[in-house]
Structure 1
Amino acid sequence: MRIITTLGAAVAAILLLPTGAHAQNSATNRSPLLEQVAACRQVASDAERLACFDRAAGALEAAERQGEVVVVERGQIREARRQLFGFEVPALPPMFGREDAAERIDSVETTLLSAAQGADGKWFFRLADGSEWRQIDSDPVRFQNRAGTEIRVRRASLGSYQLTAGRSRAVRVKRQ
């Protein structure tokens, strides 16, 4: 019974990519491979249930080896969401699983690598986390333009973002 419980826990941590023969079932939003594993739990006889799990686990393992299935830990998903903070990518949320309010990223804190003012007078910010942001409002920006300055970018109203450098006032920005 421990084998079945462990297999069930492992399968619960799997993210299935909708490619090839293993495309997700749109009615259940689950891969047929995962459906096969789940269906094995309904088999009454211990020997038949174990054989069912062996077949389903074998198919799942083969799909993983071929790149049809990818195992992703929740921490990796959180980090991917953090790295994508500021980008509007509507196709990614289903691939990265359900996002509840507790996991939603509303701000990131990092440091400034560099900042430069463009010919149009608007600022471009390069941050230590690898992100790049461009000022989109016309308000003057006053801050200490020094590498290492603490930066906070947060969600604002109507899908916009605001960047604060040190103790400066917030600047409306867009991810580049």
Structure 2
Amino acid sequence: MRAHLLIHAAAFAILLHAAPAMAKKDSADRLATPAIVQQLVACRDIAADAERLACYDKQVLAFDTATKSRDIVIADKVDVRSARKGLFGFKLPSLNIFGNGRDEDEEITEIASTIASARPTRDGQWRIVLADGAVWEQVSTDHFVLGPRPGNPVKIKQAALGSYKVSVDGQPSVRMRRVE
């Protein structure tokens, strides 16, 4: 039963890592398929049943060892979406580990949360900490009608030129940037 689960996990990892490589992209833009996954996939080309099974057994063991030692990390769409949401607001290098923003259906352009804390800064702008720990600071001279308070719902939308519009409790938006 355990071997069956490992084979399914390996197959999922193959799909996860092979999909970007199979897409028509520049070779510099591709996410390389790890050697351990390539070796596992190569087992299917062995014609003799006993040799193919021995190859799969060997490669699945190597794959299992690599996942346990965290040399290979398996992430499903839920994990990737959660990571994207957690990184929302940061400017990151193009690593192509989350699809490189090419999957328009999965691109996160807005989030909703709750304010954990809010305080004005020395220059009269606002610093807001969300429930997930993300910290945002106001960069515009616009003002909230009512100051943000813990427990207020907040919506953050991606805006032009890398900025973000933050609306607290349905109020008009102000421009902010994520700092932590």
Task: Please report the TM-score for the alignment, with normalisation by the length of structure 2.
Answer: 0.79
> 1:36 — aligned with what?
39
Residues in 2 aligned to 1:129 and 1:4: alpha-carbon distance in whole angstroms = 37
> 1:95 — aligned with what?
97
Deviation for aligned residue 1:34: 0.4
1:103-126: CA deviation from partner (whole Å, max 9, x where unpaired)? 111111111222211111211111
The unaligned stretches of length 5 or more in structure 1 are 17-25
1:18-71: CA deviation from partner (whole Å, max 9, x where unpaired)? xxxxxxxx7771000000011111111222211111121121122223331223
Corresponding position: 1:45 with 2:48: yes
Corresponding position: 1:160 with 2:175: no
**3-state SS, counterpart of residue 45 of structure 2:** coil
Does the C-alpha gap of structure 1 residues 102 and 37 become closer, same or farther in structure 2, counting only changes over 3 Å?
same
Residues in 2 aligned to 1:148 and 1:28: alpha-carbon distance in whole angstroms = 41
What is the correspondence of 1:140-155 to structure 2 with a 5 Å cutoff?
Answer: 140-155=143-158
Identical positions, percent: 34
Does the C-alpha gap of structure 1 residues 127 and 53 become closer, same or farther in structure 2, counting only changes over 3 Å?
same
Q: How many corresponding residue pairs?
A: 164
Q: Is the 8 A contact 1:143 1:166 kept in 2?
A: no
Amino acid across the alignment from 2:169: G
Task: Please report the TM-score for the alignment, with normalisation by the length of structure 1.
Answer: 0.81
> RMSD value over aligned CA atoms?
2.6
> 1:66 — aligned with what?
69
**3-state SS, counterpart of residue 46 of structure 2:** coil
The unaligned stretches of length 5 or more in structure 2 are 18-27
Mean CA deviation greater in 31-40 or 120-129: 120-129
Residues in 1 aligned to 2:74 and 2:89: alpha-carbon distance in whole angstroms = 25
What is the correspondence of 1:18-29 to structure 2 with a 5 Å cutoff?
Answer: 29=32
Deviation for aligned residue 1:102: 1.1
Q: Is the 8 A contact 2:140 2:175 kept in 1?
A: yes
**3-state SS, counterpart of residue 41 of structure 1:** helix
